[in-house]
Amino acid sequence: MSTLNVGFIGLGIMGAPMCGHLINAGHNVFVTTRSKVPEAIAQSKAVQCASAQEVAQKADLIITMLPDTPDVEKVLFGDRGVASGLSKGKVVIDMSSISPIVTKEFAQKINALGCEYLDAPVSGGEVGAKNAALTIMVGGSEASFARAKPLFELMGKNITLVGGNGDGQTAKVANQIIVALNIEAVSEALLFAAKAGADPAKVRQALMGGFAASRILEVHGERMINRTFNPGFRIELHQKDLNLALQSARAMGVSLPNTATAQELFNACAAHGGKAWDHSAMVRALEKMANFEIGQK
């Protein structure tokens, strides 16, 4: 693979390991982030830049990995933002999870500057980011997808060009609906089993061999049993994603009743100070209602 000039903006829980894979592959990587640059990246060959504008000036493909729609808008179009540093032929790749509707507006603005835009949100959490095993859902042109694919292959395993701009974000919203509802199902099942007097760890082990087996049961079921709710993916970020789902559904006249229920359970966790808990901690809202914790004797 030829060496590419790549920009990476946003070095949080997910962004830092994703960026690390690009650095380790030998690409020229230019970075900036609003908080402190992680030590591993600071000690690497990555070039730290003073602004998103500087990143865009130095890189040919510019990746953003940010929390929410307003964050992406500010980085792209705000003061000393990406747009002000672009020249024709560059590719902006937003790997954040944001509004599909607003994504189309961002793409039009970037296209007007003679550049390409890809929305490429990811699924797989911190574990997937660290293991370069993310699922990447892409919206954009086939030509720009082909240019970016060598970078995607360094960060993920299941990489799909879903359609045009916005379709990648739509796929991510659909993903987050499924993940939230699976977390809710696993929470109810393990809570039921524990309250009934069974060992939830043994129940989980038994279920992993049957039709109920899932990645959520495997990873988050273990978190629920071991009470390890340090964030791989924060509840407040999943709330943001479900807000996108519910807002879009309302606009389309579609009812998503169980998505709404999952959101209310996340809201209950946030009300108890848990917006920064891992999203597997949704189980705590159900435990409050049951007055019983998994693992309680």
User: Tokens 């390991």 — which residue?
Assistant: 17
Burial 36-45 (b: 16+ CB within 10 A, else e): ebbeebeebe
> Tokens representing 92?
């902006």
Alpha-helix runs per DSSP H in 52-199: 52-58, 69-77, 100-111, 125-130, 142-155, 167-195
**Radius of gyration from C-alpha coordinates of the chain:** 20
Q: Which residues pair with 91 in a beta bridge?
A: 61, 116
Strands 91-94 and 116-119: parallel
Strands 134-139 and 122-123: antiparallel
172 is catalytic: yes
| Catalytic option among 58, 88, 130, 172 | 172
Give the Cα separation of 260 and 181 in Å (integer): 10
User: Tokens 């919203």 — which residue?
Assistant: 173
Enzyme catalytic residues: 172
